[in-house]
């Protein structure tokens, strides 16, 4: 690995334990902000509905299409929709729906895809072939259309949406994990483990997973965006989350017809989606650095010095 070449020679002085992750996070302002935003979204989704009560569904035709203002208390802060429902309250409500689809779908596809992928890549041969063919079948058809067909046959419930989105994303992890495992299985340390009689699953778990993990986690964090975007696209096309439930994608769809008179109904849910997905992507990049022993040292340097070649040449010289 290149780690030994590029890394500042601090092995003698520094403690063996890598720096705590929150210290590393504090070093990267952008990633810290992203983590805070994601934490806030999660918190909003969890406790927001408790605070707002029925504000998301309460209709008030006198307050129809009211623009964002400070005059109508907290619920009127972001304006109202055609039925006079508070956009802020609906955004909060939708955060819960959106996350309750995206998080289970990502976790399910991450675990299933990684396990099958590493197993297939490690063993090779027929097992690899079958796993890859199944992945090809799923990937060879656009996921959105697959979801539309499946959700049209079975009802578009939250469970079905989670299931179809997870199924559509398993091949991504499967392929990544297989590629890593196939490359790692011929490395010396895996050979050594095998020579000492380690069976396949412990080898995968102890020797392949730790190295494949940064890539898989990065893929998962990125995929969180993809799943969120898929769910909102489905809801936008009218085949995802169904009214009276509300998701950010559905809100954009509902606000589309009022684009010229009440921009806030369609614009604000989109902003919420972008904030969440961008934060997840930024955090993914940070996770990639922080979990990679060969790259982690970059995070411990002051920003101004990171990545400059002079740092490494000074140290190694």
Partner 1 sequence: MTTFLRKRIVSSAIPLVVVVLGVFILARLTGNPVDLYLPLSATAEQRAAFSAEHGFDQPILVQLWDYLGQVVQLDFGESLRTGQPAAEMVLEAFPATLQLAAVTMLIAIVGAVLIGSLAAYRPNSLADRTSSFLSMTAASIPDFWFAIMGVLVFGVSLGILPTSGVTGGPEVWVLPIATLLIRPFGVLVQVVRGSMVAALSAPYVKVARSKGASEQRVVFGHALRNATMPVLTVAGDLTIGLVNGAVVVETIFGWPGIGKLMIDSILQRDFAVLQAAVLLTAVTIFLLNILIDVCYALLDARVRQAVPA
Residues within the interface to partner 1 (CB under 8 A) = 2, 6, 30, 129, 133, 136-137, 139-145, 148-150, 152-153, 172, 175, 222, 225, 229-230, 232-233, 236-237, 249, 252-253, 256, 259-260, 263, 266-267, 269-270, 273-274, 277-278, 280-282, 285, 288, 298, 303, 306-308
The alpha carbon of residue 215 and the mean position of all alpha carbons in its chain are separated, in whole angstroms, by: 13
Give CA–CA dist 135/221, Å, rounded. 20
Spatial contact of 194 and 113, defined as CB atoms under 8 Å apart: no
Residues 6+ apart with CB under 8 A from 185: 121, 122, 124, 208
Give CA–CA dist 214/178, Å, rounded. 14
Instruction: Indicate the residue among 62 and 140 with the shorter CB distance to partner 1.
Output: 140
Give CA–CA dist 5/114, Å, rounded. 30
Q: How far is the CB of 165 from partner 1 (least distance, A)?
A: 12
Instruction: Indicate the residue among 111 and 144 with the shorter CB distance to partner 1.
Output: 144
Q: How far is the CB of 154 from partner 1 (least distance, A)?
A: 9
Q: How far is the CB of 54 from partner 1 (least distance, A)?
A: 27
**Crossing angle of helices 209-237 and 248-256, rounded to 10°:** 30
Helices (H), ranges, the chain: 3-6, 21-27, 29-52, 87-123, 125-139, 143-153, 158-184, 188-195, 200-203, 209-237, 248-256, 263-290, 297-300, 309-316
Q: How far is the CB of 196 from partner 1 (least distance, A)?
A: 27
Instruction: Indicate the residue among 2 and 195 with the shorter CB distance to partner 1.
Output: 2
Instruction: Indicate the residue among 144 and 193 with the shorter CB distance to partner 1.
Output: 144
Q: How far is the CB of 148 from partner 1 (least distance, A)?
A: 6
Q: How far is the CB of 56 from partner 1 (least distance, A)?
A: 21
Instruction: Indicate the residue among 78 and 280 with the shorter CB distance to partner 1.
Output: 280
Residue 86, classed as helix, strand or coil, is: strand
Instruction: Indicate the residue among 30 and 74 with the shorter CB distance to partner 1.
Output: 30
Q: How far is the CB of 209 from partner 1 (least distance, A)?
A: 20
Give CA–CA dist 285/221, Å, rounded. 9
Cis ω before 244 (30° cut-off from 0) = yes
Q: Give 240's DSSP letter.
A: S
Q: Closest Cα to residue 64, out of 302, 308, 258?
A: 258
Instruction: Indicate the residue among 100 and 281 with the shorter CB distance to partner 1.
Output: 281
């Amino acid at each position: 690995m290149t780690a030994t070449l590029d890394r500042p020679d601090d092995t003698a002085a520094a403690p063996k334990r890598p720096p705590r992750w929150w210290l590393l996070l504090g070093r990267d302002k952008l990633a810290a902000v992203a983590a805070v935003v994601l934490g806030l979204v999660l918190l909003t989704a969890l406790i927001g509905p408790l605070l707002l009560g029925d504000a998301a569904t309460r209709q008030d035709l006198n307050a129809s299409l009211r623009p964002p203002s400070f005059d109508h208390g907290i619920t009127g802060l972001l304006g109202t929709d055609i039925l006079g429902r508070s956009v802020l309250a609906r955004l909060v409500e939708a955060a819960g729906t959106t996350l309750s689809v995206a998080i289970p779908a990502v976790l399910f596809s991450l675990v299933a895809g990684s396990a099958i992928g590493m197993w297939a890549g490690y063993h090779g041969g027929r097992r690899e072939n079958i796993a890859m063919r199944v992945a090809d079948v799923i990937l060879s058809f656009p996921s959105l259309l697959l979801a539309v067909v499946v959700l049209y046959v079975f009802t578009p419930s939250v469970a079905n949406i989670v299931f179809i989105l997870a199924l559509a994303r398993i091949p991504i992890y499967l392929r990544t994990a297989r590629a890593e495992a196939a490359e790692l299985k011929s490395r010396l340390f895996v050979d050594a483990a095998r020579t000492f009689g380690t069976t396949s699953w412990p080898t995968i778990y102890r020797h392949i997973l730790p190295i494949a993990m940064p890539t898989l986690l990065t893929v998962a964090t990125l995929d969180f965006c993809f799943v969120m975007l898929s769910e909102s696209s489905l809801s936008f096309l009218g085949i995802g989350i169904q009214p009276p439930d509300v998701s950010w994608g559905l809100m954009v769809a509902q606000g589309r017809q009022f684009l010229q008179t009440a921009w806030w109904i369609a614009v604000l849910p989109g902003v919420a989606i972008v904030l969440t997905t961008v934060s997840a992507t930024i955090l993914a990049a940070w996770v990639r650095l922080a979990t990679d022993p060969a790259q982690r040292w970059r995070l411990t340097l002051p920003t101004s010095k990171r990545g400059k070649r002079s740092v490494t040449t000074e140290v190694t010289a």
